Structure 1
Amino acid sequence: MKAQPPNATAATQAAPATTYLRQDDAAWHWLEERDEPAVRGFLDAANTQTDQWFRPLDPLVERLYAGHLARRELAVTGLPSRLDHYTLWSETAADADYPVWWRHPNDAPDQRETFFDLEARAREQSFLELGDMALSPNEEWLAWTEDTQGDETYRLFIKRLPNGQAIPLLDDIGPELCWAEDHCTLLFTRYDATQRPDSAWRLRLALNTADATASVEQEQLVLREDDPEFWIGLGKTRSRAWLTIEAASKDTSETHVVPAHTPHVAPRCYQVRETGVEYAIDHRPGYFYILHNQGAKHFQLEVEEEHRSGSRQVVIGHRENSTLEGIDAYAWGLIVAERDHREAQVRLRRLEFDGDHRLTLDAALPCSPGPLSLNLGDSPHFDDRVLRLREESFCSPSSWWSLDLDSGQRQLLKRQPLHGDLMPEDLSCRRLWAVSHDGEQVPVSVVCRKDLADQALPTLLYGYGAYGEALDPWFSVARLELLARGVAFAVAHVRGGGERGEPWYLAGKLEHKPNSFEDFLAARDALVGAGQSAPDRIVAYGASAGGLLVGASLNQSPQAFCAAVLDVPFVDVLRTMENPDLPLTTAEYTEWGNPNHAADARRIGSYSPLDNLQEDAWPPVFLQGSWHDSRVPYWEPAKLYARLSLANIASPALSNRVTLLKTDMDSGHGGASGRFKAWRDGAQQDAFILWALGLADDGDPTAPTTDTPAR
């Protein structure tokens, strides 16, 4: 265990816990009483204690922050996107938190004009998060939703482009928006009492182009979902022929379609839901394409004539060693995303239309060698034959390419610029395979400085492992500050995520959830066994459901890590899942289980971090929460902090153990909304990590320095 920085005394450490201790509630459930003044007092005291602890590290935080800014291009211009009438792009000034959107007529590039200034709107708020932006099909009106608290409750605005006033239309709605093709109908969602998007609504607007005014002509319910485990999502096919309304749970889905040009028509259910069956549809004139897992656990692709149900034919059948993840339909055919289970890698494949609806499967689209993330970029036109691709890896920043389907030519459009002493060619990335408790091979990605690749390095181990989310390779400028100081960054691709396809997800949920924790610990041991990581210098990092992963792993093997960072961590799993009135709870039953069933309650209780807390054994920990977080309430990290702090008081051996809690009182689950505050918060996290790894006294870092833009 590392020594504390000066002035972080045991008395300072203990103050919040001792001041607010209630003998009648050792579990600290009273912290859930948001309106009680003592709750704010507790969080404020913990924040003060954290500020005091960090004071000796403030110079390091500033160096990390300045180094981060110096490495990146602060003035950012987005790639232009050519629509029917205008070409659009965004620009973020070097000293701005938010972008400004611009446009010019397609035939007049010199006539550029601002049409949406999010930076100006943010100046009026302490928090601002854009939910969705939706441009009307005729490109004359912009609708958007924004959250000004962080609680993911949104307000709808509309404006005449380019310079009409922002007109508020609705409050307390969901983030999603979708225009119909009649140019005056807008679809949106509403929440139920648990903040579940349970309904889709149609808003018919009276739009006056001449005087740039807008008002609501009619508001009508389109579809309501009564099952508390399902939520509603909106979409539109690239063909612009159909609006889609999806009702989905974690393992079952049902899609309803509405003609986009006649949105007043009642929605038609495409395929009635069947428990455990997920499907998605896309459209080309005359045909629907259905990606589904009915009798095909890794999904298969079928086609059906648009107005002739029961005419389905298999396009790509089920395969054991790959999962079909998505389809994008164009006039000429499809782009299919498939994930190779063995390589834990996504490939994009092209299916070309040839004659009488015969599709031929071409080779994978050309991409750079090695593990990387390959995504289809923005291509709004249904008949586009020049696609945009986005690539990035753990070593290389994002690159955007154009791919001409006719010539096969790839052209680099943009690459995220880097500055300073650490370039992609100076980095090394490798993949290890950890052997978990049951013999399963778990991929572990590691990136470090190339000149240190053969050494046992201090290491930050990151994991998530839930909802089938795949931690595909991603680049981080902030990470360079750790790498420059000799830290390795590793990712444990544990079961419960989607890195090795649908089977990987299923093997880490419900009754298989403990596999995630075993995999994370196996990844840690594999790093040590391969000589990549120093055994006594590994910090664990988990956010949200990743906080559950790290918390459960610490309870199981607290000596495995020298410290941990838990950001908005889901650690009071059993109690949260027992409360159906909380946001997301009922929708999560198919992920964790329903504690109304005794077997599920026992299983969740067997790993829920707060229900199995090893108070006397945890290493130093930096906990973070957000006051307006509707996904993981602030009280979950607060309870963990309180119980660890009490253990510090009770045991002289723990009197110097560092237990910190920082609660952002102005944000939600995603943390700070402005990029500069988010980067500064990240620099504080990194300072804690470096301290825990014994690298806090790094003097002048190898990273370049710069003056911080005035904020």
Structure 2
Amino acid sequence: MKAQPSASHIDRFRRPDDPDWHWLENRDDSSVSDFLEATNAESSAWFAPLEPVVEALYQGHLARRELAVTGLPAPLDHFTYWSETAADADYPRWWRHPLDAPSKRECFLDLDARAASLDFFEIGDMALSPNEAWLAWTEDTNGDEMFTLYLKPLPDGAPKRLLDGIGPELCWAEDDRTLLFTRYDDIQRPESIWRLDTAAPEQEAELILREDDPEFWLGIGKTRSRAWLVLESASKDTSECYLVPANLPASEPQCFHARETGVEYAIEHRPGHFYVLNNREAPHFRLDVCPETGPEASHDAWQPLMAHRDDQTLEGVDAFDWGLVITERDHDRAQVYLRVVELDAQHGIQRDDRLPLPEEPCSLALGDTPHFNERRLLLREESFTLPIRWLAHDLDTGERTLLKEQPVHGTLQPSQLMCQRVWAEAHDGDRVPVSIVGRADRLGQAPMPTLLYGYGAYGEVLDPWFSVARLELLERGVAFAVAHVRGGGDRGEPWYLAGKLEHKENSFRDFLAARDRLVDMGLSDQERVVAYGASAGGLLVGASLNLAPEAFCAAVLDVPFVDVLRTMENPDLPLTIAEYTEWGNPCDPIVHQRIKDYSPLDNLQAQPYPSVFLQGSWHDARVPYWEPAKLYARLQELGSARGPVILRTDMGAGHGGASGRFKAWRDNARQDAYILWALGLIKRE
């Protein structure tokens, strides 16, 4: 066995001329794989006494979950589609039957068979041609987010491998033969959109649009009306859309509205009109309407339909022939709502209703509703105590029909859980929402060992979600809490803006305020709080540990973004340039110093850090494996942590970790065993 780089073995891998361990960035250096294999061996040795607990957690998770899963049927124009995952399968098989002949089932794609001999397998996109005669899909077999395009005639034609190294997204035009896809540049940015004639795939694909500005990424879509292909070029704070008639895909794309720095907009369509969700002179977004006169649409023609509001952010719009479904977020309640707006021919509002919520806080979203004239909306609901369920909401009768609900087996049922929403006071007096869920017979009775989760970047929201895996912790008396910190979008667009760029430190202060609030009100045991952050959430937790190392008894950092300054100084890495609007460009000395002041790796010092469990992935294209590896090495060198510092690198996965569900569940069980140990609920014997 290779030497293990624990505190007593780290000298083997130290290079005096590189005290910051930057040599770990060279994946072609054999010493890098030696280092990661040694740390994996060390991790396995540390977890060995916990293997019975890991196995019990894993088996407990399997016992709670429905293993043989049938997906919700989705009727399109000619066939009804659904997935079936066998009890022992990692991936589903896809089926369909004619709308008028349910007994004529046909399997048209077996993903479990495709993945059988692979260490990693992930579908990027699946796209049916409008006549439902062809299926195109992209798949990644390494975890590096480089996708291969396949095409097959349905139901049982032979798949043909068409293109390698492309982006995940696909979109069919309405001619049943033209397929749109994206290609990457050298830093894995979707920088061009191409069209492929699937009736003559031997021909070269044709370039439709190229984006030269490295801060912008391209994406593709189609309006629900099926009238327009939408090509979007967007940075983190600016967007520009091009339109192509969906039935004339060879047409030149026409710019809908030229980009304006800091202005984001998205387009929806009903015959005769475009609907423009935008933040032009409306920081929380407004909804405008303009005639379908063709691009370029001057904003002078945009007429207000839903005005800007101080207390709500408009997050999305979905158009139907009868009107619109608006997704909006209440800032004060930190709650998302769906609003149904029915319109007449003159855009008079005939109906304006919010759909009911099952409880608050909760998640509510419009499900896949492909038909433009559909008046039975598919809704998806869940909360921390409500398993995922799908309902049909009839707009004419108001009747709600339960279509499918995630079953939960085992001794701890959702009805035995309780969720509380509390508010922490931040360092500047703002109010930070904190959600906490636990067993109803334990929550609030006495301070509980707590797992505190946070993210806080890109405006991403942490709306409540149900987790079967989480039940293993909750049943053992752990409380699970979520800090909805600034930088996320939980309280709308202002909440996001208040936690990015020069305001980034608010995210870290909010996370610590959430922890203190839970302790002060007696919900959490101050000696037993574990912090958890993944990706940009790893930055949140890493920076919080530097500010208050004794606030937590342990931390889990999964594929953590912790080398912020060095990453943002390297424009050759994927994502870096596009992320300047999130973190800032360190070429500016003021920005450089600001990032340096909070970047976790740049602020390590000999102080009493808690035990840390770090996880990385060898093929990760978003947060390279070397970020958690360098944090591990530096913490080991400092030697000041109050408990073990552990690094585990998955050598066959990407940013999302293991792709097969059983391996992912086992990885989750290992992580939970560490959390239970850190909280003092189990011992390593």
Q: Taking structure 2 as the reference length, what is the TM-score of the superposition?
A: 0.98
Q: After superposition, give the CA deviation of every residue in 1:80-100 in whole Å (9 maximum; x if it has no partner).
A: 000000000001111100011
Matched residues in 1 for 2:684 and 2:94: separation? 41
Which AA in structure 1 matches 2:145?
E
Secondary structure (helix, strand or coil) at the match of 2:61 reads helix
- Does 2:161 align with 1:168? yes
Matched residues in 2 for 1:344 and 1:543: separation? 22
Matched residues in 2 for 1:298 and 1:448: separation? 34
The answer to whether the 8 Å contact 1:203/1:216 transfers is no
The partner residue of 1:384 within 368, 374, 379 is 374
Q: How many residues align?
A: 678
The partner residue of 2:594 within 590, 593, 603 is 603
The answer to whether the 8 Å contact 2:136/2:152 transfers is yes
The answer to whether the 8 Å contact 1:460/1:539 transfers is yes
Q: After superposition, give the CA deviation of every residue in 1:604-657 in whole Å (9 maximum; x if it has no partner).
A: 001000000134321100000000001000000000000111122xx6xx5x73
- Does 2:584 align with 1:593? yes
Distance apart, 1:311 and its partner CA = 3.1
Matches within 5 A, 1:162-241: 162-206=155-199, 215-241=201-227
Distance apart, 1:19 and its partner CA = 1.7
Q: Residue 252 of structure 1 corresponds to which residue in structure 2?
A: 238
- Does 2:556 align with 1:570? no
The answer to whether the 8 Å contact 2:549/2:607 transfers is no
Q: Residue 329 of structure 2 corresponds to which residue in structure 1?
A: 339
Q: Residue 501 of structure 1 corresponds to which residue in structure 2?
A: 492
User: Using a 3 Å threshold, how does the CA distance of structure 1 residues 139 and 127 change in structure 2: closer, same or farther?
Assistant: same
Q: Residue 683 of structure 1 corresponds to which residue in structure 2?
A: 669
Matched residues in 1 for 2:638 and 2:452: separation? 26
Q: Residue 607 of structure 2 corresponds to which residue in structure 1?
A: 616
Which AA in structure 1 matches 2:511?
F
Matched residues in 2 for 1:621 and 1:698: separation? 16
The answer to whether the 8 Å contact 1:460/1:540 transfers is yes
Matched residues in 2 for 1:659 and 1:367: separation? 43
Q: Residue 432 of structure 2 corresponds to which residue in structure 1?
A: 442
Secondary structure (helix, strand or coil) at the match of 1:202 reads strand
Distance apart, 1:378 and its partner CA = 1.4
Matched residues in 2 for 1:217 and 1:376: separation? 39
Secondary structure (helix, strand or coil) at the match of 1:199 reads strand
The answer to whether the 8 Å contact 2:120/2:659 transfers is yes
Which AA in structure 2 matches 1:695?
L
Matched residues in 1 for 2:9 and 2:218: separation? 42
Q: Residue 113 of structure 2 corresponds to which residue in structure 1?
A: 120
Distance apart, 1:12 and its partner CA = 7.0
Matched residues in 2 for 1:15 and 1:107: separation? 70
Deviates more, 1:320-329 or 1:122-131: 122-131
The partner residue of 1:393 within 362, 380, 383 is 383
The answer to whether the 8 Å contact 1:16/1:45 transfers is no
The answer to whether the 8 Å contact 2:456/2:499 transfers is yes
Matched residues in 1 for 2:59 and 2:683: separation? 17
Matches within 5 A, 1:616-695: 616-648=607-639, 657-695=643-681
Deviates more, 1:215-224 or 1:254-263: 215-224
Matched residues in 2 for 1:488 and 1:190: separation? 44
Matched residues in 1 for 2:667 and 2:14: separation? 29
Q: Residue 472 of structure 1 corresponds to which residue in structure 2?
A: 463
Q: After superposition, give the CA deviation of every residue in 1:114-164 in whole Å (9 maximum; x if it has no partner).
A: 001100000031100100000001100000000110000001000111111
Q: Residue 6 of structure 1 corresponds to which residue in structure 2?
A: none
Secondary structure (helix, strand or coil) at the match of 2:511 reads helix
Distance apart, 1:530 and its partner CA = 1.0
Structural RMSD (CA): 1.4
Matched residues in 1 for 2:9 and 2:353: separation? 61
Structure 2 unaligned blocks of 5 or more: none
Q: Residue 78 of structure 2 corresponds to which residue in structure 1?
A: 85
Q: Residue 527 of structure 1 corresponds to which residue in structure 2?
A: 518
Matched residues in 1 for 2:203 and 2:78: separation? 27
Q: Residue 134 of structure 1 corresponds to which residue in structure 2?
A: 127
The partner residue of 2:414 within 424, 432, 454 is 424
User: Using a 3 Å threshold, how does the CA distance of structure 1 residues 216 and 346 change in structure 2: closer, same or farther?
Assistant: farther
Matched residues in 2 for 1:34 and 1:301: separation? 48
Secondary structure (helix, strand or coil) at the match of 1:42 reads helix
Secondary structure (helix, strand or coil) at the match of 2:435 reads strand
The partner residue of 2:479 within 478, 488, 492 is 488
The answer to whether the 8 Å contact 2:129/2:176 transfers is yes
The partner residue of 2:249 within 244, 259, 263 is 263
Q: Taking structure 1 as the reference length, what is the TM-score of the superposition?
A: 0.94
Which AA in structure 2 matches 1:241?
A
Matched residues in 1 for 2:517 and 2:202: separation? 60
Q: After superposition, give the CA deviation of every residue in 1:668-696 in whole Å (9 maximum; x if it has no partner).
A: 00000000000000000000000000011
The answer to whether the 8 Å contact 1:402/1:413 transfers is yes
Deviates more, 1:294-303 or 1:11-20: 11-20
The answer to whether the 8 Å contact 1:337/1:348 transfers is yes
Matched residues in 1 for 2:108 and 2:602: separation? 52
Q: Residue 404 of structure 2 corresponds to which residue in structure 1?
A: 414
The answer to whether the 8 Å contact 2:363/2:464 transfers is yes
Q: After superposition, give the CA deviation of every residue in 1:532-582 in whole Å (9 maximum; x if it has no partner).
A: 000010000000000000000000000000000000000000000000000
The answer to whether the 8 Å contact 1:291/1:301 transfers is yes
Q: Residue 278 of structure 2 corresponds to which residue in structure 1?
A: 292
Distance apart, 1:697 and its partner CA = 4.4
Matched residues in 2 for 1:15 and 1:75: separation? 47
Secondary structure (helix, strand or coil) at the match of 1:685 reads helix
The answer to whether the 8 Å contact 1:75/1:92 transfers is yes
Matched residues in 1 for 2:76 and 2:404: separation? 19
The partner residue of 2:291 within 305, 320, 324 is 305
Matched residues in 2 for 1:96 and 1:614: separation? 46
Matched residues in 1 for 2:293 and 2:17: separation? 66
Matched residues in 2 for 1:493 and 1:268: separation? 40
The answer to whether the 8 Å contact 2:4/2:42 transfers is no
Matched residues in 1 for 2:82 and 2:8: separation? 51
The answer to whether the 8 Å contact 2:5/2:12 transfers is no
Secondary structure (helix, strand or coil) at the match of 1:14 reads coil
Secondary structure (helix, strand or coil) at the match of 2:199 reads strand
User: Using a 3 Å threshold, how does the CA distance of structure 1 residues 13 and 657 change in structure 2: closer, same or farther?
Assistant: farther
Matched residues in 2 for 1:559 and 1:204: separation? 60
Q: Residue 374 of structure 1 corresponds to which residue in structure 2?
A: 364
- Does 2:26 align with 1:40? no
Secondary structure (helix, strand or coil) at the match of 1:206 reads coil
Secondary structure (helix, strand or coil) at the match of 1:452 reads coil
User: Using a 3 Å threshold, how does the CA distance of structure 1 residues 12 and 509 change in structure 2: closer, same or farther?
Assistant: closer
Distance apart, 1:165 and its partner CA = 1.1
Q: Residue 26 of structure 1 corresponds to which residue in structure 2?
A: 19
Matched residues in 2 for 1:149 and 1:15: separation? 34
- Does 2:529 align with 1:543? no
Q: Residue 212 of structure 1 corresponds to which residue in structure 2?
A: none
Secondary structure (helix, strand or coil) at the match of 2:403 reads strand
The answer to whether the 8 Å contact 1:16/1:46 transfers is no
Secondary structure (helix, strand or coil) at the match of 1:641 reads helix
The answer to whether the 8 Å contact 2:74/2:81 transfers is yes
Structure 1 unaligned blocks of 5 or more: 1-9, 208-214, 700-711
Matched residues in 1 for 2:293 and 2:349: separation? 20
Q: Residue 451 of structure 2 corresponds to which residue in structure 1?
A: 460
- Does 2:392 align with 1:402? yes
The answer to whether the 8 Å contact 2:325/2:338 transfers is yes
Matched residues in 1 for 2:569 and 2:220: separation? 29
Deviates more, 1:607-616 or 1:496-505: 607-616
